[in-house]
Amino acid sequence: MNTAAAPNESALISGVLSGDHELFHQLIRPYERLVYVTIFAILRNQTEAEDAAQESMINAFRNLKTFRGDAKFSTWLVTIAMNEARKRLRKSKSAAEDSLDDSEDPAGDLTPAVLTDWREVPLQALERKELGEKLRQAVAALPEKYREVFVLRDIEELNQEETAAALGLNVPVVKVRLHRARIMLQKQLAPYLKTQAPRRGGFFRRWFR
Amino acid sequence: MTLECKHVWQHISAYLDHQLDPQLLAAVELHLQTCKVCTAIIDSTRNILILTADQHTYELPIGYSDRLHQRLELLLKTESP
């Protein structure tokens, strides 16, 4: 959270606030995906997520003068998006689901799926596309508080501090919830994994240092 | 420091995020050298995270960007931040 907005971004923000509203298009373009995917992973509905993403951007425009340059603009936007998603989820959720999500440890003992060798389960192994669908379903089924942290850390790749700030949590809580979310997903998805993913650079380097 | 499997499982997430202190990291890696079960668990968790970060796992609806900017256009003309 100590990274200031990029110089160009700061100039765009100043421009919008000075009356050149059209610059807002340019300002948000790099974050369209971030905002939509964050909301979609929480709401689990494409139409609603798109509407919520639009509302988030509208809110961002209306409240732009409250943005403080000491935080990243992306984190600020994600916070708005997350609040919009939470608001809509609260509206649509039943009391029963609420109580499930609020329980402290719905994952029980949180042990991972133990497979003596998970490369030897070809019968259940899925192609990458199907596995993607299984993953989206498994993420969607996570209790909300774990899902929120997982979305920001592992889908959006925000760092711990940014995630904590966006969710109003402290870093140790983010770590614990992320760990639990990952173990829950491993438990659900391990049987579907066929082969070890190839080593790749660039986007995936984070996992191979 | 000797670790049992259940102790290693508590540190999977921190291990994948490279956040273990050197002593604990060495103990986990020593355990992994001889434990196929824990190695498989860590590999499968890592693969899930790789798939999660893949841009194709979460895709944008077709036309999303156009619709977003169309909706903003009217707002930008009629309101101020």
B62 touches chain A (CB under 8 A): no
3-state helix, strand, coil in chain B (%, to 5): 70, 0, 30
Give how far B52 is from chain A: nearest CA, Å.
6
* Cβ contact A74:A31 at 8 Å: yes
> CATH top-level class for A102-194?
mainly alpha
The closest alpha carbon to A188, from A136, A145, A122, belongs to A136
A157 touches chain B (CB under 8 A): yes
Domain count, chain B: 1
Do the domains A102-194 and A7-92 match in fold? no
Start-to-end Cα distance in chain B: 58
What is the Cα–Cα distance from B49 to A202, expressed in whole angstroms? 15
Contacts of A119 in chain B (CB under 8 A): 40
Give how far A49 is from chain B: nearest CA, Å.
10
Domain around B32: 5-78
> CATH top-level class for A7-92?
mainly alpha
Question: pTM of the predicted model, to two decimals?
Answer: 0.82
Q: Which distant-in-sequence residues (6+ apart) come within 8 Å of A71 by Cβ?
A: A1, A165
pLDDT in tens, chain A (209 residues): 444 555 699 999 999 999 999 999 999 999 999 999 999 999 989 999 999 999 999 999 999 999 988 788 999 999 999 999 999 988 887 544 544 444 445 445 578 887 655 454 444 456 777 888 889 999 999 999 999 999 999 999 999 999 999 999 999 999 999 999 999 999 999 878 754 443 444 444 455 54
The closest alpha carbon to A107, from A152, A138, A83, A151, belongs to A138
Domain boundaries, chain A: 7-92, 102-194
